[in-house]
Amino acid sequence: EFNEDMMRHHNEDNFEDVLGKALRGTGIADGVLEFLTGVPEETIAKLKDGEFEEDALRKVASPLGLDADTLVERAKEAWTPEPVDLEGLCQYNTVYEDMTVNNYLVWDPTSREAALFDTGTDAGRAIGLANELDLKLTQLFLTHTHLDHIMDRAAVEAHNPEVKTFVCALEPAAGATRFQPGDAFSVGTLRLSTRLTKGHSPGGTTYVINGLARPVAIVGDALFAQSMGGGMVSYQDALATNRAELFSLQDDTIICPGHGPMTTVGEEKAHNPFYPEFK
């Protein structure tokens, strides 16, 4: 039986998801990978199906640009991120088919101004907390416009007729206020800057929030705990924009992904196989 609580604390991607994203992204065929590594195509096929063979997994990591140690660590499920507890930030997991998708309520404890980041499939609990804490929810920021992230937009806008929905101008979204990457916003005394983290989607945007006890980066599907979003538009852009825009943030910055648990920049430097240069 699919159980949301089971999903909540699990990293979004297994090692075979990481492997698949790297294979598709680099365009390296299994036969070429066999030639480069000596690992037979049959074994590569097993790895892609989630059959863990440590020696083979270590051999294929490097030509795909992946760090072998943390890829094996993911396969062994030997690491999970530290739980995050920050006043002014709440993550909600919502169910979408056989997975979960996150939305985030962020508020300024001083002015009680609040903003929602993505809607997931059900913004009800986020709206409920805003009501309970007597917060003024006036802004909805979209990281990108894939269906699972925006499904409950109408309910959020209906909750408060003053709600303004914002989206990067490079993303398709009707009726939202469009902005250019780099534009800044505020939620009460909190400052929001926008960074283009494209590659999974054309205008995927990370919102960096300053003013709470720690910096927060709401990254959509740019980065996950020990993984990243698939490079549906461009794998190279996804890697490059994450390197430039996310890994340049200070290490204690909380990463709030579209799927899976929250993590930090420092944790991803240490544990994310897609970014071997930080190991």
Residue 179 burial (CB count, 10 A): 17
User: Does an H or E element contain 228, and which?
Assistant: strand 227-228
SS3 state of residue 227: strand
At position 90, the amino acid (one-letter code) is C
| d(C-alpha 56, C-alpha 44), whole Å | 8
pTM of the prediction?
0.95
* 35 backbone φψ class: left, alpha, beta (φ>0; ψ -120 to 50): alpha
Phi, psi of 20 (to 5 degrees): -60, -45
Q: 22 phi and psi, to 5 degrees?
A: -70, -40
CB 217 within 8 A of CB 136: no
Instruction: Supply the Cα-derived Rg of the chain in whole angstroms.
Output: 19
* H runs (alpha helix) in the chain: 4-8, 15-26, 30-37, 41-48, 54-61, 68-75, 124-132, 147-150, 153-159, 235-245, 265-271
Looking up tokens 């037979």, which residue turns up?
40
d(CA 163, CA 140): 7
Beta-ladder partners of 28: none
- How far apart (Å, rounded) are the C-alpha atoms in residues 124 and 155? 8
Reading the block at residue 245, the tokens are 């825009």
CA separation (Å) from 257 to 11, 160, 221?
11, 25, 6
φ, ψ of residue 171 to 5 degrees: the values are -105, 145
Contact (CB, 8 A) for 218 and 256:
yes
d(Cα 235, Cα 28) in Å, to the nearest integer? 13
- pLDDT tens-digit profile, the chain (279 residues): 445 454 555 889 999 999 999 999 999 999 999 999 999 999 999 999 999 999 999 999 999 999 999 999 999 999 999 999 999 999 999 999 989 999 999 999 999 999 999 999 999 999 999 999 999 999 999 999 999 999 999 999 998 889 999 999 999 889 999 999 999 999 999 999 999 999 999 999 999 999 999 999 999 999 999 999 999 999 999 999 999 999 999 999 999 999 999 999 999 999 999 999 999
* Encoded tokens for 55: 């020696």
